[in-house]
Amino acid sequence: MSPTRADYCALACAEVFRGDGEVMASAFGTAPAIGARLARLTFAPDLVLTDGDAALVSGAPVLGTPPGSLVLESHMPYRKVFDVVWSGRRNLIMMASQVDRSGNQNISAIGDWARPSAQLVGVRGAPGNTVNHSTSYWVPNHSPRSFVEQVDVVSGVGYERADSGGPAARRFHEIRFVVSNLGVFDFDTPSRTMRLRSVHPGVSVDQVVEATGFTLTIPDNVPLTREPTPDEQQLLQMLDPKGLREREVKE
């Protein structure tokens, strides 16, 4: 069976954790959750996964496993989470309602701050996350409304703002990747602004440019996102037997 767009997205999310070693992996969204589990089962065996509440889990549980059926490695009191966060030993994939060319993220509100047209979930822990450990973003519906010139509210801190915050803000700050349903993006440019890293098969560079509300850095040769190996393809099916990833990813 040929990989689907959702498979490529889940694999791209897994690549976020490559080379991390023993860090706490947190992943929000279906493709990121699958990606973190896939990474642990393959090239990142030292990743530490959580139940999203107060425990570290053993292995890489199938998506949708009931909490009572999880095999737990240890209890993790809420205060202990902050010890990990503040030490830089966490890698997080958050979702983003808006992300801009400097890597600022918005999950708070759309429109004018004084009278927003849409209220979202609030800034949550995004400011502290982004200045204390590696953070990446998952955007399942790439459009000019989600990839914007400037976010309406800065929830997650991008490179320009982190630089202005001094050494404390820069110490662990890293916006590693942005993964969307069209491709993968990074900030590996002299100005630390967004660059197109790869496009998913079936997507053209022109499609990405048209769906982005700011000027991207485009390399001369943009590769395709890596294809899952046969073993990885089997693991994707094992981790998500109900095909939940297909419902999340827009083509």
Sign of CA dihedral 172, 173, 176, 178: positive
Identify the pLDDT of residue 76.
Answer: 78
Please state which of the ranges 120-124, 135-139, 216-220, 247-251 shows the lowest mean pLDDT: 247-251
For Cα atoms 87, 88, 90, give the angle at the middle one, nearest 5 degrees.
Answer: 115
Among 8-17, 55-64, 107-116, 147-156, the range scoring the smallest mean pLDDT is 55-64
Q: How far apart are CA 101 and CA 178, in angstroms?
A: 11
Rounded mean pLDDT, 42-68: 86
Q: Is the pLDDT of residue 30 over 90?
A: yes
- What Cα–Cα distance (Å) separates residue 25 from each residue in 1, 134, 190, 213? 29, 10, 28, 30
Q: Is the pLDDT of residue 1 over 80?
A: no
**At residue 166, does pLDDT exceed 80?**
yes
CB 9 within 8 A of CB 198: no
Q: What is the mean pLDDT of residues 215-226?
A: 97
Does residue 218 surpass a pLDDT of 90?
yes
- Band of residue 113 on the pLDDT scale cut at 50, 70, 90: confident
- For residue 130, pLDDT beyond 90: yes
In whole angstroms, what is the distance from residue 184 CA to residue 138 CA?
Answer: 10
The model's confidence at residue 97, banded by pLDDT at 50, 70 and 90, is very high
Domains of the chain, start order: 5-248 (3.40.1080.10)
> Can you give the pLDDT at residue 151?
98
Q: Does 67 or 133 have the greater pLDDT score?
A: 133
- Cβ contacts of 42 within 8 Å, gap of 6 or more: 14, 231, 232, 235
CB 102 within 8 A of CB 193: yes
Contact 224, 200 (CB under 8 A): yes
| Residue 69 structure tokens | 């059926």
Could you list the beta-strand ranges (E) of the chain: 24-27, 48-50, 55-57, 72-75, 90-95, 98-99, 105-106, 109-110, 118-119, 134-139, 174-180, 183-186, 195-199
pLDDT at 56: 83
pLDDT above 90 as % of the chain:
77
DSSP string, 63-108: TT--GGGPPEEEE--HHHHHHHHHTT-EEEEEE-SEE-TT--EE-S
What is the C-alpha to C-alpha distance for residues 243 and 247, in angstroms, rounded to an integer?
Answer: 7
* Better pLDDT: 195 or 113: 195
**pLDDT category, 82, cuts 50, 70, 90?**
confident
| Tokens read off for 249 | 């990813």
Higher pLDDT, 53 or 67: 67
Q: Is 35 helix (H, G, I), strand (E, B) or coil?
A: helix
First to last CA, the chain: 18
pLDDT for the residue 87 = 86
Cα angle 2-231-199, degrees, rounded to a multiple of 5: 50
In this prediction, what percent of the chain has a pLDDT beyond 70? Answer: 100
pLDDT at 233: 97
C-alpha distances in Å from residue 197, one per residue of 37, 136, 181: 23, 14, 13
pLDDT value of position 80: 80
- Is it the case that residue 52 has pLDDT exceeding 80? no
Check whether 31 has a pLDDT greater than 80: yes
Residue 102 has pLDDT above 90, yes or no: yes
